[in-house]
Amino acid sequence: MTAAKVSKEDKKPIDEKPILDSPEIIVDEKTFLGWVTNAHHLSKYPNGIPRLKHKVAIVGFAPSCADVRVYFNDPDWEIWGLNQLYLQFPTMAEKATRWFQIHQRSSYDQAVRDHKHDDWLKAQTNFPIYLDPATWKESGIPMGIPYPRFEIQKTFGDYFTNSISWMISLAVYEHIKYGGLEKLAIYGVDMAQDEEFREQRPSCEWLVGWAQALIGKDNVYIPAKSDLMKTTWIYPFEEGSAEKFRVKLDARIDELSQRAQQIRSQKLQLHDQEMQLIGAKDNALYIKKTWSDVIRSEVPGQVLMNR
């Protein structure tokens, strides 16, 4: 699949500076990569904010999110964040070039994670924020723009199970439309343990496959600690390796089960000891209360026994 051609009108040098671009940025034939999708109303340019970076890092919430710091000062990388990632990774809000909050406000207002999320979204001034296209106009978020849901679905279909999938699809969509994407990195999207993440993982992997097909497998980076695009063996050529891996895992599971049982036994013993101490203390308190008229504090000039 080849990228769509950009019209000569789009390629014209532009003298005006967009709202979100710094004065030193010059848009010309060499640096122009099309437009940031649906951000035209945030810019002084007639067609919106120019895309000027060849590389995109998508950042989620898993521990590997911090590894994206290596690109924070690289001028050729876009950094995309989402939802309440700024709570876990505050520097993201300073370095992000786009943000995604495509849930309806009613869902994130009730989130335990952050009851002031809407206030944070309204306070941002440095990057476009993709919102639910059905409600973005009423959001009151100055940097809010509609996520191009229907354009994306027209290109990729309906297989979307999480926000990261929508983010990957937008990076791929803009490459299909304009070209220019050289690298895609996905940090903080490990999807390793939780049942919900395991259900969400396939749609991310499907869209990673799109990216690999368009810009090359070696140009899509996924951290080793992520479960995305990983398998324990290559079917059917490494079946022996798979059996060895299963045996190793079973041994590890047995070891951990035994250690957990030891800890449970220790907890029971400690609980029994605690109950004995509590019983002894209660008995001492009972004796003190029962004999309070006989055993009194020693006061100078008084005798201890009154009968």
Alpha helix segments (H runs only) across the chain: 8-11, 85-88, 91-95, 105-109, 117-123, 149-156, 163-178, 195-215, 239-290
* CB half-sphere exposure, 122, CA atoms < 13 A: 9
Segment 191-214 mean pLDDT: 85
Least reliable range by pLDDT among 3-12, 137-146, 228-237: 3-12
Beta bridge partners of 220: 184
Lowest mean pLDDT among 159-163, 165-169, 265-269: 265-269
Q: What tens digit of pLDDT does each residue of 226-280 get? A: 889 988 888 888 877 777 777 777 877 888 888 899 999 999 999 999 999 999 9
Residue 124, exposed/middle/buried by CB under 10 A (0-12, 13-18, 19+)?
middle
Residues 6 or more apart in contact with residue 209 via CB below 8 angstroms: none
Of residues 130, 223, 231, the one with CA closest to residue 174: 130
- Confidence class for position 1, pLDDT limits 50, 70, 90: very low
Note the pLDDT of residue 181.
96
> 27 burial class (0-12, 13-18, 19+ CB within 10 angstroms)?
buried
Structure tokens at 218: 């070696």
Give the distance, in angstroms, between the CA of residue 176 and the centroid of all CA atoms in the same chain. 25
The pLDDT of 28-44, averaged and rounded, is 83
Return the pLDDT at 100. Answer: 98
Work out the pLDDT band at 33, boundaries 50, 70, 90: confident
Q: In the prediction, which pLDDT does 11 show? A: 41
Percent of the chain with pLDDT over 90: 55
Q: Stretch 13-34: mean pLDDT, rounded?
A: 55
C-alpha pair distances (Å), 19 with each of 49, 60, 211: 8, 27, 30
As a whole number of angstroms, the distance between CA 223 and CA 187 comes to 7
pLDDT band of residue 200 (cuts 50, 70, 90) is confident
Tokens 């335990």 label which residue?
112
Average pLDDT, the chain: 84
CA distance 188 to 201: 13
Check residue 26 and give its pLDDT.
Answer: 53
- Model confidence pLDDT, tens digit, residues 91-119: 999 999 999 999 998 887 776 666 789 99
**pLDDT of 306 strictly over 80:** no
